[in-house]
């Protein structure tokens, strides 16, 4: 079935989970999606365990087809809502990416994220470069050591799990916490 058919049949939906009790019910499936999504990313997944994922995050947006999770966005409360991980399952990958793009376009005016590599290419593909944040705010937002601010005014290099990565901030962080 294509995405329009699935949506018409009310099989596609997005759930927002904030309560630990709700997250515990799906953590196995969500952690598997994230592990696969970050398996080829330099620096890998930032969550060492399911407990780390459960206890250090504030909001999960989960994309479902019927009862099967096919995509997820994970957020922490940091200068507003910072998206810190996302992934899509291998099943319904195309449909999940389409819904993921829709969610990102709809929420970037009130959330933010650091992206690199494939995720940066995806953000450019779906027209989100208008949400790039100047790199002069990186140290304030990340509270991390920055190796270099790039000359383009947006990108910067910082270490992620021991690996220097070229990144860019996308979205609208709240500068007052």
What is the rounded CA–CA span in Å between residue 112 and residue 126? 15
User: What pTM value is reported for the model?
Assistant: 0.89
The per-residue pLDDT string of the chain (177 residues; one tens digit each, 9 = 90 and over) reads 666 665 555 788 999 999 999 999 999 999 999 999 999 888 788 899 999 999 999 999 999 999 999 999 999 999 999 999 999 999 899 999 999 999 999 999 999 999 998 899 999 999 999 999 999 999 999 999 999 999 999 999 999 888 899 999 999 998 755
Assigned token pair, 13: 């939906």
Query: What 8-state DSSP symbol labels residue 167?
Result: E
What is the rounded CA–CA span in Å between residue 138 and residue 149? 9
Architecture field, domain 3-171: 3-Layer(aba) Sandwich (3.40)
pLDDT of residue 67: 92
What is the rounded CA–CA span in Å between residue 40 and residue 166? 16
Domain boundaries, the chain: 3-171
What is the rounded CA–CA span in Å between residue 104 and residue 16? 14
Residue 85, beta-bridge partner list:
74
């Amino acid at each position: 079935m294509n995405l329009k058919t699935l949506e018409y049949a009310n099989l596609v939906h997005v759930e927002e989970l904030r309560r630990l009790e709700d997250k515990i019910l799906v953590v196995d499936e969500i952690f598997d999606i994230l592990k696969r999504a970050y398996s080829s990313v330099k620096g890998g997944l930032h969550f060492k365990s399911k407990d780390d994922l459960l206890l250090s995050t504030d909001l999960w947006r989960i994309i479902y087809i019927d009862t099967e999770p096919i995509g997820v966005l994970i957020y922490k409360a940091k200068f507003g809502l910072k998206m810190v991980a996302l992934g899509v399952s291998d099943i319904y990958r195309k449909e999940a990416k389409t819904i993921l793009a829709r969610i990102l376009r709809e929420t970037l005016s009130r959330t933010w994220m650091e992206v690199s590599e494939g995720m940066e290419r995806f953000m450019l593909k779906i027209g989100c470069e208008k949400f790039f944040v100047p790199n002069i705010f990186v140290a304030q937002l990340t509270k991390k050591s920055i190796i270099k601010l790039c000359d383009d005014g947006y990108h910067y290099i910082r270490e992620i799990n021991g690996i220097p990565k070229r990144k860019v901030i996308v979205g609208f962080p709240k500068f007052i916490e």
